[in-house]
Structure 1
């Protein structure tokens, strides 16, 4: 798929408009009015916010609906390699990333309607979401929040079929606040009066209370993980339970115990949105779900070939302490099943808690190779990141690139085939998938 036309449109926009986030709904509301308010002509919306697990919930929700035979649009952000990844349009046999010509035309139409007014590129691209999703038929639109919730550009949708709040923890403190209850309040901003709310597994009672109180105040039917629905492992299977009974399902294809809770939130959300999910459809969804760059196994590709022979390579874009904990737990599960020495290849950006991320791997990782994040101006220098890893109690050294780290490990490691986690940033995950020759499709 050629990406030149859409890329040219986006590059022109980025030259005109400020980078970053400007949390307000005024500009995008004015723009959407000029476009005829396409956000009011969407199929039923599953709107997903949270600090961690949003993308996984979106992936499970899509898999469930498609397994049940429904046509589904999906909007996620950020992308890993190509802008097109943000827009998956409904199609028979499963959604497809937006065609370049359709994408470029929609961007040009939105930019023309904006007429050079001050706006962020994310707001323009969110308006593109509403244009695309309103003009192509589907049974549902899954829309992931970009940042926060209350003032995120996606929050102009007046009513949702269901609002989903995934785990809330500290992240983006400069925009959302430095206490978990403040961040929870921002995420709760997507809850609409009288519309169903699904609250995923929360890390703190503080966040949970804020979310429940908001839903109650707005008179919303509310479904809380651990109270109204849950999932657990039994005999190597996943058991999902809610007021309708039990479903005995295969374990999710996405690795890690945390994916049981993410899958459960998606099942609850799809049901709360008014869709029936048969046992057969749920089984198919658990085994077909895919979510690139999140505990993704790299079994082949240009970079994978540089690793020590027989290495078990994982790629994950998680970038905050909460993500570090669930990824470390997933790797500890792998260690229990198949013991191997663990090495990290890590790159991070300067808005994240680097030491907090690394602390999750203390006692688990043998050594860390820190690398630059070339796709972001905010990348932490690799020598500075190594210091953060050492402060967290790990052995670490800076190297020039992921390829260099893999070759260094191949040439110096004299032991059983290692397990390798490449992670710490979605920018890094995208760069790795591009260099490996395995971009999302």
Structure 2
């Protein structure tokens, strides 16, 4: 059977585009605007849009927003990127009982129509796929759209939405410096580019006071009402519950199903944003959303599958696509919490790409990880060779060795495990490419 015949219809259409158009990003909105005009401006025919930018936490905020709205019985379209295993993950269409990933023939048809409208002109594939988002979302009924930015904000292809119901800006830190600048205030200014005059803005928890200042400054200049974490709303743990507080009062909720304390602030930002967008979220819906929220590849517990079967018996396996120092810190904190509940030796199986600060990511695990198995990221041309990655982990003060695959690392652990010790806790992470490859190989792709 040829590889071609196993491809989905949409994959074939997208592969044709990838062969023809440049990869990467074009930081201007002219081409996407021209293309959308030819398609009849579908981005102007959408239900209320929750537009989300930020360095870390965008995906979690999108997942919480979707869970909150769906718990209220509303239909929600969701756009996220990148995908982990299949292109279809980028497009979740509203459906009774909860959104569904777009059907293959529906996506293939939309991609073909957008490509035809582009008439072979120069454009990036991300711009075409963003136009596909607007086309799909305008042609299927829904009550709300959750729209995640691809890169940056100001010149991201999603930033053609003229009047979002709310702009949500999640934590800003250094990432994609080549495109967005190498200082946190420059990056904050890029992310704040999604703010539109007079439209509400919600700002998630910011580590950097400078980032918060920049974002609030942009909102003030545009006359956009701002609600900021720590000032206008917040969340904290009390008696094993999540307490959300804003100017309207308190909500006493279950702890979010997504692990890690950082998810308290992410949940709060989504709740504030959905309310600012004009949706009335009742206590019952908020309670249900905290327990039903799901976000694959981000501190996802793997409990079964082909790769899981290779690990030492009883091992606890986590998968996380976080890839910058900020993500390393929140993942290390989440694993430390697990350690407090149930002590186990922690091992990392890590693969990263060369545009990320590898040593910065690994430093977060110093003193808590026993050993790192560095693996190649075969799904990306930019993968760091495993010997080099092991050296980066060593520079960050960790014991590390190169291994040629995740499967081999798991088998190596299994074959050398000392049965007198509790089974290990294993974090597979460092790249969304790696997370996607692991979900595919494990036989548990996102649904």
The 5 Å alignment of 1:36-55 reads 36-55=40-59
C-alpha distance in structure 2 between counterparts of 1:218 and 1:408, whole Å: 57
C-alpha distance in structure 1 between counterparts of 2:209 and 2:322, whole Å: 23
What secondary structure, in the 3-state scheme, does the structure 2 residue paired with 1:155 have? coil
Shift of 1:3: 5.6
Report what 2:351 is aligned to.
347
The 5 Å alignment of 1:187-226 reads 187-226=191-230
Report what 2:360 is aligned to.
356
What secondary structure, in the 3-state scheme, does the structure 2 residue paired with 1:116 have? coil
Report what 2:3 is aligned to.
none
Report what 1:420 is aligned to.
426
Report what 1:30 is aligned to.
34
Report what 2:158 is aligned to.
154
C-alpha distance in structure 2 between counterparts of 1:384 and 1:416, whole Å: 31
C-alpha distance in structure 1 between counterparts of 2:422 and 2:414, whole Å: 11
C-alpha distance in structure 1 between counterparts of 2:252 and 2:145, whole Å: 27
C-alpha distance in structure 2 between counterparts of 1:416 and 1:396, whole Å: 21
Report what 1:439 is aligned to.
445
**1:331 corresponds to 2:335:** yes
Candidates 62, 65, 74, aligned match of 1:61: 65
C-alpha distance in structure 2 between counterparts of 1:21 and 1:429, whole Å: 22
The 5 Å alignment of 1:298-313 reads 298-313=302-317
C-alpha distance in structure 2 between counterparts of 1:101 and 1:200, whole Å: 37
**1:105 corresponds to 2:84:** no
Report what 2:171 is aligned to.
167
Report if aligned partners of 1:239, 1:249 keep a CA contact under 8 Å in 2. yes
Superposed CA deviations along residues 146-184 of structure 1, whole A, max 9, x for unmatched, are: 000000000011110000000000000000000000000
What secondary structure, in the 3-state scheme, does the structure 1 residue paired with 2:319 have? strand
C-alpha distance in structure 1 between counterparts of 2:26 and 2:346, whole Å: 40
C-alpha distance in structure 1 between counterparts of 2:372 and 2:26, whole Å: 35
Stretches (4+) displaced over 2 A = none
C-alpha distance in structure 1 between counterparts of 2:27 and 2:7, whole Å: 29
Superposed CA deviations along residues 359-403 of structure 1, whole A, max 9, x for unmatched, are: 000001000000000100000000000000000000000000000
Report what 1:321 is aligned to.
325
Candidates 234, 241, 247, aligned match of 2:245: 241
Provide the TM-score with structure 2 as the length reference.
Answer: 0.98
Give the aligned length.
440
C-alpha distance in structure 2 between counterparts of 1:413 and 1:380, whole Å: 28
Report if aligned partners of 1:159, 1:192 keep a CA contact under 8 Å in 2. yes
C-alpha distance in structure 1 between counterparts of 2:433 and 2:195, whole Å: 30
Report if aligned partners of 1:32, 1:38 keep a CA contact under 8 Å in 2. yes
C-alpha distance in structure 2 between counterparts of 1:231 and 1:348, whole Å: 32
Candidates 178, 183, 199, aligned match of 2:182: 178
Report if aligned partners of 1:18, 1:120 keep a CA contact under 8 Å in 2. yes
